[in-house]
Amino acid sequence: MKLKRQTHAELCELQRRTGSAIMRRLNGASRMQQTWMDGRRTADVVAEFIKPNDRLTSFDRIEIYNRQYWFRLIDCLYDDYRGLHAVLGQAKFNRLTIEYLDRYPSRCFTLRNLGSRIGQFLDERPDLIQPRAELAREMAKFEWAQVVAFDGPVETPVTVDDLLGANPTKLRLALQPYITLLELHWPLDDWSIALKNSANTLRSEASNAVESEAKTAIERPKLPKKKTVFVAVHRYQNMLYYKRLEPAAFAMLAALRDGRTLEAAVGAVMESNEDRDWSAEVQKWFANFTSMGWFCRRK
């Protein structure tokens, strides 16, 4: 018997329907929804394009993929937003991730970008992060900055030749794209490190469970107390760093990032304290930042 050759349009339609089934949001019990978008039984709809086998129905077979797709995405968000998870707690974080993925489904080939719109989503849905909305928003920004710092692109750093003979009143520099400057109202850098250390210790304890019976329970660090800090999230020699900055250094870097000239940027430093002799301090800052390759040419 000669089989009918499938047309390109039919293949596209099959892919579209399969994708719809796999990527469709799960129900409250983390299972595939029983009712299709048009009100029919999902089991009837998927039976039109997925064959059953001797052990699983069409519904059962596609449900496996539907669930693993969602679990994978949720797991990815958990990996990138462990601090946010700690701020909100398990139940609220779960709800947040599902609502987020429903509102902003994965549309990029790379899972790296999956959480890129969390910040925007938290602004749209403050109801999901009460009563710690402000802390949650800052944590999300801080954690996204780490994704950027980890693998954001790097531009060629400025060289001595770029700077020789430069006029500070005209010189404009750019910051490397992987650097994020953050004014935080909680010391989330310290807290994140404590959180990671605590998680590592817990993992280590779990792997030595027999030996650790006598050891005291390890508690997750308490939520941080309010304190304003200025932080640059960056990488250096392929390692992730949180660098605390003096407020004046932060203002100066932000001014350079925003396109102001070198002279105008140091004006931002002077505004914080006109009586202080800034020259030696500023020279030291710039030597350090430049030795890490933070500045590049402005395009």
Partner 1 sequence: MKSSTQFSIAAAALSGLLMGTAARAATVAVPTTPANHQSIQKSVDAGQKAAIKLADSADKHDCAGKNDCKGKGGCKTGDAGCKGKNSCKGKGGCATNK
Residue 91 in the binding site for partner 1 (CB under 8 A): no
Q: Give the number of residues in contact with partner 1, rule: CB under 8 A.
A: 73
- In degrees to the nearest 10, what's the CA dihedral of 259, 262, 265, 270? -170
Q: Which residue has the tokens 């719109």?
A: 117
Whole-number Å distance between alpha carbons of 42 and 185? 48
Residue 291 in the binding site for partner 1 (CB under 8 A): yes
Residue 56 one-letter amino acid: L
Residues 56-75 that bind partner 1 (CB under 8 A): 72, 75
Q: Which stretch binds partner 1 (CB under 8 A): 28-36, 84-92, 195-203, 213-221?
A: 195-203
Comparing CA positions, the residue from 89, 250, 76, 247 lying closest to residue 147 is 76
Residue 200 in the binding site for partner 1 (CB under 8 A): yes
Residues 203-222 that bind partner 1 (CB under 8 A): 203
Residue 191 in the binding site for partner 1 (CB under 8 A): no
Contact with partner 1 (CB under 8 A) among 39, 159, 209, 214: 159
Q: Which stretch binds partner 1 (CB under 8 A): 6-14, 134-142, 189-197, 216-224?
A: 189-197
Residues 102-131 that bind partner 1 (CB under 8 A): 109-113
Helix (H) or strand (E) holding 232: strand 229-236
The two most distant CA atoms of the chain are separated, in Å, by 94
85, two tokens: 């998870």
Whole-number Å distance between alpha carbons of 246 and 269? 10
Neighbours of 54 (CB within 10 A): 4
Min CB(147)–partner 1 separation in Å: 9
Contact with partner 1 (CB under 8 A) among 43, 56, 171, 174: 171
Contact with partner 1 (CB under 8 A) among 232, 251, 253, 255: 232
Given a contact cutoff of 8 angstroms between Cβ atoms, the answer to whether 151 and 112 are in contact is yes
Contact with partner 1 (CB under 8 A) among 24, 137, 243, 257: 243
* DSSP states along 29-93: TSS--SB-TTSSBHHHHHTTTS---SS--HHHHHHHHHHHHHHHHHHHHHHHTHHHHHHH-HHHH
Residue 154 in the binding site for partner 1 (CB under 8 A): yes
Which residues lie closer than 8 Å to 190 by C-beta, 6 or more apart?
A: 224
Q: What is the DSSP letter of 177?
A: T
Contact with partner 1 (CB under 8 A) among 157, 172, 260, 272: 157
225 SS3 class: coil
Residues 29-58 that bind partner 1 (CB under 8 A): none
196, two tokens: 């990671």
Residue 76 in the binding site for partner 1 (CB under 8 A): yes
Residue 223 in the binding site for partner 1 (CB under 8 A): no
Min CB(235)–partner 1 separation in Å: 7
Contact with partner 1 (CB under 8 A) among 4, 169, 213, 217: 169
Alpha helices by DSSP H, listed for 152-278, are: 160-163, 188-207, 247-257, 262-272
Residues 133-152 that bind partner 1 (CB under 8 A): 146, 150-152
Of residues 40 and 203, the one with the C-beta less far from partner 1:
203
Min CB(88)–partner 1 separation in Å: 19
Contact with partner 1 (CB under 8 A) among 131, 209, 274, 299: 274
Residue 85 in the binding site for partner 1 (CB under 8 A): no
